[in-house]
Every structure is written in structure tokens, then in C-alpha cells.
Structure 1
């Protein structure tokens, strides 16, 4: 595994599909604020340097099994979401991002409350989101096949048991009781 992925531990059969980090263009807004602050307050350099460090120390990886996000300048935080747990993906592009072709890709998981992970400032977010969605569909169909078959089999077994119980009940209730029958009255 290359040194740029030293923070990432993949399964032997897991393959990297996409790798990225916030684009340099996503820092232009910070530069627009930071440069005047350098002239006015001297703080702009700190703002620009911290944004650049954050950008350089953030990595995103999409594999055929999951999505990984690494953040942190002095410490490291790695977040992982399995593709078969993803419920929804979306992307957003702001006004500046539309001009420089960067935006955010948001990932929501089943059972989660809202967006669980955001890939911020990625170049061409629509393509990244589409690629992620294809991987999610593939992972869910692969993991869902066995589960769906087992669930269908269980449901069919329950239906069969219910039908057999109904038939037994009907058979027992529909037998004519000849002891109470009066031919002259019944006809």
C-alpha cells in the first residue's frame, strides 16, 4: 500500500476506486478573506495557513466496499462507512464552486440521523457522487442477495404454515354433523 494511504487499512480483496482531498480551489474563499486580513490585522496569514494545513491533511478514499475520510493536523481521525450501509448520497455546489468546479458530497446511512459524512471541497462533486452511488448499488445488491433470499424463504414458510392452519380449521369446521340432522325438516 502506498505511503499516502498509511492511515488506511483495507481488506485484502478491497480495491480503491477513487481517492481525493479538498481541492485547492476550495480555498479561494479563504484567500479572499485572508489576504485583506493580512493587510488590516495581520491575522490573515494564520487564517490562510490553517485552511491550507486542513486541506493538505484531509484525505478521502472510496473503495468497492466503503468510504473513508481522514482528517487532522496534529492528531488523526479516520471515519469509515460501509457502502452497503449507505442510504443516500447527494452533492452540493455553491456559486464559487460552480465557477471553479468543486463542491461537497454528502453521505447518509440507514438508521443515521441526517448526513453522516461530508466530503468537502472535492473537485467535480457530481462525478464523485455518481461513482459513489454506483458502488453503493453494487454493494447493496451483493450483500442483499443472500439476505433477501433468506427473508423471502422465511416469509414463504410462514405463509405456508398459516395456509395449512387455515385449511385444517376449515376442514374441521365444514364437516357435517349428521347426528343433529333432521331430513324431514332440512329437506
Structure 2
């Protein structure tokens, strides 16, 4: 893409692996509504607004993060690192399905709903696949069994400490009361035995 990204300042080792803008055909519905309304001048404002948004919106996918730049008179650059990406989805309107564009939504861990959208981009399914593949390469969302057991051990120790504190009128509990010989908890114990 021969677009200048003067708004993008990459970190060391960060490389652009995809760059895009809104699909030009995403303006078709705007023109379909705006041209008849130009008689009222309101349609002309709709067309100009949509065109300026189209020209001033850029998206980047790098090996480190996702970027979205918007703004006509000002500049707003949003960045989400891959280790925070929780879920992706894409959607297409009627016109989007006909002309091959759609929106890719990105949700983050700890966020509420969609945190970033790549609106009206070409081949949204391919972009979603690219983001998902890059996310898997970064190793997000896949904790090993040992990591899960360590977290469960910590939770169990805290629960025992809370139980002992309540039963012993606030005396601190010894968290190492029932570990196995190798220091791990015996997960084959019944739930009552563990607590």
C-alpha cells in the first residue's frame, strides 16, 4: 500500500503485516441515500462526511499489535496489543456481502464488549483469520496444565487461610498443612478433605 503512515511509530522490531482502509464500495449506501437528499442540502453533508471519514481512517496489523487511526480535523490512534486480544468476529451488511467488505470486531480481556472495530474493510473473514493466527503465535489464551495447577494451589492455600482465620478467631493459618511429599496438593482428595 502506498499510503503514508506518518501517524504510526513502531516499537523496536515491530513490522506491519497488513494495512488497509475502508472499502471504496462502502460509500455506495451513502451515495444512494445522499444523492436524492442533495436537493435539501442535507444529503450533501452526508456524502462529504462519509467521504472524509473514508479518507481519514486507516487500519494496521503488525506483529505486535492492532492499530486504528481516525479523525478528520484531529487524530485518534488506538492500539491493542495481541496479548490483550480475547475474541474476534466479523459481520457484513447486505451491501458488504455483495461487494466483499465488512467489519471485524476485536474484544479484549477485561474489556466490556467490542474495544476496536475495523469498519468496512475488504475481505473481513481473511482479516479475522490473520488476526487469530497472529494471536495464536503470540501464545495468548493457552495456559499449560502446570500453570493451571499452580494457580489452583494458590487459590486452595488462600481458601484454607480464610477458613482457618474464621474458625480460629482471626489467628493466621499455616498454608502448608496438607501438601503431598513433592510439595503439590493431592487433587484426588475429596473436596471436604482439601478444605
TM-score range, shorter chain: 0.7 to 0.9
Which has the larger helix fraction? 1
**Alignment gaps of 5+ in structure 1:** 167-187
The corresponding residue for 1:9 is 9
Point out which structure has higher relative CO (alpha carbons under 8 A, 6+ apart).
1
**Alignment gaps of 5+ in structure 2:** 157-175, 186-195
Per-residue CA deviations over 1:122-171 (Å, capped at 9, x if unaligned) read 01111111111101111125x97xx85984695699799811389xxxxx
| Structure 1 residues 56 and 156: alpha-carbon distance in aligned structure 2, compared to 1, 3 A threshold | closer
Per-residue CA deviations over 1:47-77 (Å, capped at 9, x if unaligned) read 1111000110000000011000000000000
When the two chains are superposed, the root-mean-square deviation of aligned CA atoms in Å is 2.9
Q: How many residues align?
A: 162
Local SS of the residue matching 1:103:
strand
The corresponding residue for 1:81 is 80
TM-score by length of 1: 0.77
TM-score by length of 2: 0.74
Local SS of the residue matching 1:104:
strand
After superposing on structure 2, the runs of 4+ consecutive aligned residues of structure 1 that deviate more than 2 Å are: 147-161
The corresponding residue for 2:70 is 71
Contact 1:83/1:140, CA 8 A, preserved across alignment: no
The corresponding residue for 1:106 is 105
